[in-house]
Amino acid sequence: MLSPAALPTPLVTLDVPALARVGVRLRLKRDDLAHPTVPGNKWRKLAPNLALAVEQGYTGLLTFGGAYSTHIRATAAAARELGLSSVGVIRGDELAPLPRNWSLRAAEAAGMELRFVSRGRYRELVRGTDRWSEQDGDGRLLVLPEGGSNALAVAGAAGIPAEIPELGERDVVCCPVGTGGTLAGIAGGLPAGARALGVAVLRGEGYLEREVAELHQAAYGRQFDNWRIHHGHHGGGYGRVPPELEAFAVEFERRHGIDPERRYVAKTLLAVHDLAAAGEFRPGTRVTVVVTGVPDP
Ligand X SMILES: Cc1ncc(COP(=O)(O)O)c(C=O)c1O
At its nearest, how many Å lie between ligand X and the CB of residue 268?
8
Measured at CB, which residue is nearest to ligand X?
Answer: 293
Binds ligand X (CB under 6 A): choice among 112, 177, 202, 270? 177
41 sits near ligand X (criterion: CB under 6 A): yes
Nearest to 296 by CA among 273, 270, 275, 266: 266
Q: Which is nearer to ligand X, 86 or 149 (CB)?
A: 149
Buried b vs exposed e over 19-42: b needs ≥16 C-beta within 10 Å?
beebebbbbbbbbbbbbebbbbbb
Binds ligand X (CB under 6 A): choice among 9, 85, 149, 288? 149
At its nearest, how many Å lie between ligand X and the CB of residue 207?
12
261 sits near ligand X (criterion: CB under 6 A): yes
292 sits near ligand X (criterion: CB under 6 A): yes
Nearest to 29 by CA among 154, 164, 197: 164
Binds ligand X (CB under 6 A): choice among 161, 178, 204, 235? 178
9 sits near ligand X (criterion: CB under 6 A): no
Q: Could you give the C-alpha distances from 220 to 154, 172, 212, 245, in angstroms and in order?
A: 9, 21, 12, 36
Establish whether the linkage from the previous residue to 99 is cis, with ω within 30° of 0. Answer: no
Distance of alpha carbon 264 from alpha carbon 204, whole angstroms: 14
Q: Which is nearer to ligand X, 85 or 292 (CB)?
A: 292
180 sits near ligand X (criterion: CB under 6 A): yes
At its nearest, how many Å lie between ligand X and the CB of residue 290?
8
Do residues 5 and 35 lie in contact, with contact meaning Cβ atoms separated by under 8 Å? yes
Write the interaction track for ligand X spanning residues 217-256; mark x where CB under 6 A is met and - where it is not. Answer: ----------------------------------------
Longest distance between any two alpha carbons in the chain, whole Å: 62
Write the interaction track for ligand X spanning residues 65-94; mark x where CB under 6 A is met and - where it is not. Answer: -----xx-----------------------
Do residues 100 and 88 lie in contact, with contact meaning Cβ atoms separated by under 8 Å? no
Residues contacting 152, CB < 8 A, separation 6+:
45, 48, 49, 52, 131, 219
At its nearest, how many Å lie between ligand X and the CB of residue 127?
16
147 sits near ligand X (criterion: CB under 6 A): yes
- Terminal-to-terminal C-alpha distance of the chain: 27
Tell me which stretch binds ligand X (CB under 6 A): 86-94, 98-106, 173-181, 247-255: 173-181
At its nearest, how many Å lie between ligand X and the CB of residue 215?
9
Distance of alpha carbon 79 from alpha carbon 82, whole angstroms: 5
Return the bridge partners of 133, or none. 142
3-class SS of residue 62? strand
Tell me which stretch binds ligand X (CB under 6 A): 91-99, 114-122, 166-174, 178-186: 178-186
Distance of alpha carbon 44 from alpha carbon 74, whole angstroms: 11
Binds ligand X (CB under 6 A): choice among 75, 103, 179, 285? 179
Do residues 141 and 59 lie in contact, with contact meaning Cβ atoms separated by under 8 Å? yes
Residue ranges binding ligand X (CB under 6 A): 40-41, 70-71, 147, 149, 176-183, 261, 264, 292-293
